[in-house]
Amino acid sequence: MEKRISIVIPNFNMAATIGKCLEAAFASKYSNFEVIVVDDYSDDSSIEIIEKHPCKLIRLKKRSGTSIARNTGANNSSGDLIFFIDADCLVLEDTLSIINSTFSGLEPGIVIGGTYTRMPYDKRFCSIFQSVFVNYFETKRLEDVDYIAAHAMVIDALKFRESGGYPDFYLPIIEDVAYGHKLRAMSCRLVMNPKIQVRHIFNFSIPGSIRNAFRKSYYWCLYSLKAKDMFADSGCASFELKADVALNFLSILFLLLWALTQNTLLLTFLPAFFILNVFMNKGLIKAFQRTKGTVFAVKAFLYYSMIYPLPIGVATITAILKHLFGKNGSGSQCSPFTVPGSTFDCKDNRV
């Protein structure tokens, strides 16, 4: 039996990708589905592009944020299942069929997550790196995961409405992590199915990759500091990545100490740090190798171990300073909500 699936896509100034996103959705081999796009007050050509496709378009009257856009789409859907994706994600032809078979006979309290394909839409080095990185860490654990990313999340429609939807969040991103914690607090099980995949459009240069790493790490750390789970093995914020950042900064520290003291003993620690990092991230290295060969795996790991940790480390330090000493800034409106171990008051934590 084909369940009706509602694909919900928030859009804000994504004219560059929303057309491809909708084309891919309507190319699905599955028949019983609808597509709902919620435009969050875009001022580019998104609307003209969206209107060329047979989807339901909902236009918000003011900039409201991704959480409200997702909730609006879901609350105006008619499906048995709600499939959240982003406006730069391409649904594969068999993705909806896999979702339907996954949910056959499944209890409503289970929420299913998908992930990115290892190969993204664009074949730039940093795009492939990011897609493999996300795919690997999102599927490292399949049962009882910490959160499910909103670029490929499927939930029973009744369970979604019972949950109250995504929190009207105080940060511009990471609302899916907060929602995952909210669902877990409601005793929902969060499970990954790596066969449910979307192809992401990154178009990342090295500067773009660095900016993305800084932005996501900064907001993730702000959230984690409030949730008191900075050291949790949580999806892409994995133990391996945290070790990678720590070993990178230790290497920099030992180099600086060597420059100040000229004590060559300090340099002997650097190969040990590198080897330890290789050992801790051997699974990711294998994922790089399986995706695009040994040469790419070497280049990707060197980028991961020597360059990628820098914006993450700086973002972490910045977030800690903001958490300790920052004053209220401007941000989207939100309501307090509870996750395990913490109550969030957005009046105190807008950014």
The angle at the Cα of 152, spanning 211 to 107, to the nearest 5 degrees, equals 145
What pLDDT score does 1 carry?
Answer: 86
Three-state secondary-structure class, residue 44? coil
Would you say 294 and 285 are in contact if contact means Cβ atoms under 8 Å apart? no
- The domain 5-205 having CATH identifier 3.30.1330.20: the answer here is no
What pLDDT score does 33 carry?
Answer: 98
User: What are the Cα distances from residue 48, in Å, to 59, 107, 169, 188?
Assistant: 12, 40, 29, 39
Q: What is d(CA 243, CA 189) in angstroms, rounded to the nearest whole number?
A: 28
What the block records as the tokens of 25 is: 């959705």
The angle at the Cα of 95, spanning 90 to 101, to the nearest 5 degrees, equals 160
Q: What is d(CA 221, CA 260) in angstroms, rounded to the nearest whole number?
A: 32
Domain extent listing, the chain: 5-205, 239-344
User: Which residue, 22, 31, 38, is CA-closest to 77?
Assistant: 38
Residues contacting residue 263 through CB under 8 Å, at least 6 positions apart: 257
Residue labelled with tokens 């982003």: 86
What pLDDT score does 170 carry?
Answer: 81
Residue 307 CB: number of other CB atoms within 10 A?
Answer: 14
Q: What is d(CA 332, CA 341) in angstroms, rounded to the nearest whole number?
A: 24
Q: What is d(CA 4, CA 14) in angstroms, rounded to the nearest whole number?
A: 26
What pLDDT score does 327 carry?
Answer: 61
Residue labelled with tokens 């000229």: 262
What pLDDT score does 228 carry?
Answer: 93
Query: What letter would DSSP give residue 327?
Result: P
What pLDDT score does 108 carry?
Answer: 74
- Average pLDDT across each block of 10 residues of the chain; the chain has 351 residues. List them in order: 96 98 98 98 98 98 96 98 98 98 88 98 98 98 96 97 92 95 96 98 98 98 94 95 98 98 97 98 98 98 98 98 73 38 36 28
